[in-house]
Amino acid sequence: MSASQQRRRGDFQPDLSKLTEAERDAFEAVYERGMGGREYARETGRSWGTVSNLLMRAREKLDVFQGDQRA
């Protein structure tokens, strides 16, 4: 099964060791536990802009959404 098929099925488990602790925490909260990005920002005392940047860098490092048509 290809990686894109695994992502569609929800079987894909990215290698989070590539991320900094802050990126990993944000990624896990938002993409694995379903917390909203702004909610995570409030909970951690970070600004929404910082959380947004952490998530962007995490996605880039993990290449999680490669091939998805995201706006």
Which tokens go with 70? 């995201």
Could you give the C-alpha distances from 18 to 58, 61, 69, in angstroms and in order? Answer: 8, 7, 24
What is the rounded distance in angstroms from the CA atom of residue 69 to the CA atom of residue 39?
25
- Check residue 15 and give its pLDDT: 86
Residue recorded with tokens 């048509």: 69
* pLDDT tier for residue 66 given thresholds of 50, 70 and 90: low
What is the rounded distance in angstroms from the CA atom of residue 17 to the CA atom of residue 45?
24
For the question of whether the overall pTM of this predicted structure is more than 0.75, the answer is no
Most confident stretch, 2-11, 44-53, 56-65: 44-53
Tens of pLDDT, residue by residue over 6-51, are 445 456 678 899 999 999 999 999 999 999 999 999 999 999 999 9
* Domain spans, the chain: 15-62
